[in-house]
Structure 1
């Protein structure tokens, strides 16, 4: 008669683990599915090199251009250098107008477009004020970021003595019109120079009414 020896120690140790797995098999399966889904989502956002697709300029793009698919291309960037407001899809950009010139390869962010992004980084309460300089040729000398002093001249210099007042100093240019291009600012006349500056709220009223008070001139300045 064959006698049965003592149970294998490895089998004895494995039994509680098997029971635990069987008892919680549904929970374990759900956790595995969640892990697989997370890996799948990450794979959609990042390629095999760990980069993220973002929208960039496919060519040099002038200020005021209405964006189409031809202006855009996808670039792959590591997440650690990705701008926080970079566009990752083409659809939100179509039909938008650029607020500053773009170089080929520049990543598109909210600050590149006309809209709320123009005032990104400015002090709270800053407003965008459109101005029409009396000397339209001045507009061609400006670029977004250039600082200007806004000067108002009243009187005609003949019957009425001319009076000159500095309405505001060191205002950054946000946007300017481009001759011959379809304009992006509401009411902009393609034949007339238009400049949009960022101004503190206490200067906004005087600047907004300056055109009806006299002639507006912009003086380029380095600030400080």
Structure 2
């Protein structure tokens, strides 16, 4: 009887487990550009209030996809952190993610996702053919950059990603930007947000 009473007392004093939902978290620090593997992910359970829109809850939702931003160990994985449709979350309908190779690969160390840029095409070779510049897209947000601080050694493809950035573009801008690097050299100019009013 004493054991039964003790068990009932312990049961009553133990708080009921809170409701939880599954979520994916990083099992280790992952640099931007990582092709996510199953071992890079950990399934955890969190209170429903901690799960924001886009939080992933199944390994297959992230496995094989490439990170658009670095993840710290234990950080929840969100669809907007992965290259692909989630990267365009919050952009106007019809937006496209357009990869561009900048002529000066080191210049992308100056830009981070979220910054606005003008994309400029410079034709000519700088010698017998005079260079002419044309703004192909104005005020487009950067979604992803291939490297920060010149640390490309952690990348798959290494030199193949040098100088790459991904921008969000409208359909018209995307048509002008697609293949633009074959017509000349591409550069970006950092711009501020448009003035309201």
| TM-score (normalizing by structure 1) | 0.69
Q: Select the structure that is richer in strand.
A: 2
Give the match for residue 65 of structure 1: 34
Q: Select the structure that is richer in helix.
A: 1
Distance 1:102 1:176 in 2: 15
Structure 1 residues 50 and 56, CA gap change in structure 2 (3 angstroms): same
Give the match for residue 187 of structure 2: 217
Unaligned runs of 5+ in 1: 1-46
Distance 1:205 1:221 in 2: 21
Q: Alpha-carbon deviation of 1:201?
A: 1.0
Distance 1:96 1:123 in 2: 23
Structure 1 residues 120 and 50, CA gap change in structure 2 (3 angstroms): same
Q: Is the 8 A contact 1:177 1:190 kept in 2?
A: no
- Please give the secondary structure, in 2, of the residue aligned with 1:175: strand
Q: Alpha-carbon deviation of 1:98?
A: 1.1
Distance 2:23 2:123 in 1: 50
Q: Is the 8 A contact 1:154 1:214 kept in 2?
A: yes
Q: Alpha-carbon deviation of 1:105?
A: 2.8
- Please give the secondary structure, in 2, of the residue aligned with 1:156: coil
* Count of residue pairs the alignment pairs up: 174
Unaligned runs of 5+ in 2: 1-15
- Please give the secondary structure, in 2, of the residue aligned with 1:204: helix
1:163 pairs with 103, 112, 132, which one?
132
Alignment map for 1:10-89 (pairs within 5 Å): 48-89=17-58
Q: Is the 8 A contact 1:152 1:217 kept in 2?
A: yes
Larger-Rg structure: 1
Q: Alpha-carbon deviation of 1:189?
A: 5.0
